[in-house]
Chain A
Amino acid sequence: MARQEKKKDVVIVGLGWTGSIAGIELAQEGLDIVALERGHDQNTVPNFEYPQQIDELKYGVRLKMMQKPSQQTVTVRRNGGETALPYRQLGSFLPGNGVGGAGTHWNGLNWRPQEVELRLRSYVEETFGADIIPEGMNLGDYPVSYDELEPFFTQFEKVAGISGYAGNLNGEIREGGNPFEGWRSEDFPMPPMPTTYDSSKFRDAAAAMGYHPFPASAGIASTSYVNPYGMQMGPCNFCGFCERFGCYQYSKSSPQTTILGALKRYPNFEYRTQSEVLRVELAEDGQTATGVTYWDEAAQEEVFQPADIVILSSYQLNNVHLMLLSGLGEVYDPLTGEGTLGKNYAYQMNGGISMFFKDEEFNPFVGHGANGICIDDFSISQNDFGAEGFIGGSYWRSGTFNGQPIRNMPLPAGTPAWGAGWKQAIGETYGHAMSIGSHGSHMAYANNHLDLDPTYTDRHGRPLMRMTFNWQDNDLRMNQFMKSKMEPLAASMNPDSMRAGFKGPGAEYDVRPYQTTHNTGGHIMSENAREGAVNRYCQSWKAHNVFAMGAGNFVQNTQYNPTGLVGGLAYHTVNAIRTQYLSNPRPLV
Chain B
Amino acid sequence: MKTFLRILAGLVIIGVVALLAFIFVPVQRTEPAQALAADWEPAEGQGEYVLDAADCVACHTSDDGERLAGGRAIASPMGTIWSTNITPDPETGIGEWSYADFRAAMVDGLEPDGTHLYPAMPYENYRLMSEEDIRALYDYLMTEVEPVSNEVQETELSFPFNLRFGIRAWNWLALTHGPGFTPADVPELQQRGQYLVEGPGHCAACHSPRSKFMSQDGVTADEENFLAGGVIDGWNAPALRGEGSDLAKWSVGEVAAYLATGRNAHSTANGEMGLVVEHSLQKLTDEDVLAMAAFLKGVDGDAVDLPESFAAAGPTSLEAAEADETGSATAEMLASADPDMPLGARLYMDNCIGCHFATGKGAPEMFPELQGNSMVVGSETMPLISVILNGVEVPSTAKRPMSLRMQGYGERLSDDEVAELVTWLRGAWGNDAPAVSPADVAKVREAGEAH
Chains A and B share a contact (CB less than 8 Å): yes
A contact residues vs B (CB 8 Å cutoff): 43-46, 49-51, 158, 161, 189-191, 222-235, 237, 239, 248-250, 257, 261-262, 264-265
User: B residues within 8 Å of A by Cβ?
Assistant: 311-320, 351, 353-355, 357, 363-367, 391, 396, 398-407, 412
A226 touches B365 (CB 8 A): yes
Say yes or no: A158 contacts B354, CB within 8 Å.
no
Knowing that A45-B391, A229-B313, A264-B396 touch, tell me 7 more A-B residue pairs with CB under 8 angstroms.
Answer: A45-B406, A45-B407, A46-B405, A224-B363, A225-B317, A229-B401, A248-B354
Query: Which partner residue on chain B sits nearest A191 by CB separation?
Result: B317
A232, B365: Cβ atoms under 8 Å? yes
The reply to whether B320 and A158 contact each other, CB–CB distance below 8 Å, is no
Question: Of B318, B351, B406, which one neighbours A224 at CB under 8 angstroms?
Answer: B318
Expressed in whole angstroms, the Cα–Cα distance for A262 and B364 within the complex equals 19
Which of A45, A50, A223 is the one whose CB lies under 8 Å from B320? A223
State the 10 A-B residue pairs at the shortest beta-carbon distance, nearest first. Answer: A226-B314, A45-B405, A234-B366, A224-B318, A49-B407, A262-B401, A261-B401, A189-B315, A226-B316, A224-B364
Question: Chain B: which residue is nearest A259 at the CB level?
Answer: B401
* Nearest residue, chain B, Cβ from A262: B401
Indicate whether A234 sits within 8 Å of B401 (C-beta atoms), given known contacts A49-B407, A223-B317, A223-B320. no
- Residues on B with C-beta less than 8 A from A44 are 405
Write out the residue numbers on chain B whose beta carbons fall within 8 Å of the beta carbon of A257.
402
Give the shortest distance, in Å, between B377 (CB) and chain A (any CB): 23
- Majority secondary structure of chain A interface residues (helix, strand, loop or mixed): loop
Q: Tell me whether A228 and B315 are in contact (CB under 8 A).
A: yes
Residue contact A225 to B314, C-beta cutoff 8 Å: yes
B residues in contact with A264, CB < 8 Å:
396, 401
Q: Are A227 and B405 in contact (CB under 8 A)?
A: no
Cβ contact of B402, chosen from A222, A232, A237, cutoff 8 A = A232
List the B side residues contacting A46 at CB < 8 Å.
405, 407
Question: Does A239 contact B313, Cβ atoms closer than 8 Å?
Answer: no
Q: Is the interface of B mostly helix, strand, loop or mixed?
A: loop
Question: How far apart are the CA atoms of A248 and B137 in the complex, in Å?
Answer: 43
Q: Give Cα A50 to B317, complex, Å.
A: 24
Distance A194 CA – B385 CA, assembled complex (angstroms): 34
A-B contact pairs, 30 of them (CB 8 A): A44-B405, A46-B405, A50-B354, A51-B351, A189-B314, A222-B317, A223-B320, A223-B363, A224-B320, A224-B365, A225-B317, A225-B318, A226-B314, A227-B315, A228-B314, A229-B401, A230-B314, A230-B400, A231-B401, A232-B366, A232-B404, A233-B366, A234-B355, A235-B320, A235-B366, A237-B353, A237-B354, A237-B355, A250-B366, A250-B404
State whether B317 touches A228 (Cβ < 8 A).
no
CB distance from A437 to the nearest CB of B (A): 27
Cross-chain contact B367 with A234 (CB below 8 angstroms): yes
Q: How far is the CB of A549 from chain B (nearest CB, A)?
A: 23
Give the complex CA separation of A45 and B403 in angstroms.
9
Chain B residues, Cβ within 8 Å of A49: 405, 407
Query: Complex formed: what's the CA distance from A189 to B315 in Å?
Result: 6
Contacts of A250 in B (CB 8 A): 366, 402, 404
CB contact between B319 and one of A158, A223, A262 (< 8 Å): that residue = A223
**Are B313 and A261 in contact (CB-based, < 8 A)?**
no
Query: Cβ of B317 and Cβ of A232 under 8 Å apart?
Result: no
Inside 8 A of B355's CB, which chain A residues have their CB?
A: 234, 237, 249
CB distance from B165 to the nearest CB of A (A): 47
Given contacts A44-B405, A234-B366, A248-B354, A228 and B313 within 8 Å (CB-CB): yes
Contact between A261 and B402 (Cβ–Cβ < 8 Å)? Answer: yes
**What residues of chain B lie closer than 8 Å to A230, measured between beta carbons?**
311, 313-314, 398-402
Give chain A residues whose Cβ lies under 8 Å from the Cβ of B407: 45-46, 49-50
Nearest Cβ on chain A to B187's Cβ, whole angstroms:
29
Residue in chain B with minimal CB distance to A53: B407
A248 to B353, CA, bound (A): 13
**Cα-based distance from A158 to B404 in the complex (angstroms):** 20
Question: Which B-chain residue is minimally distant from A266 (CB atoms)?
Answer: B401
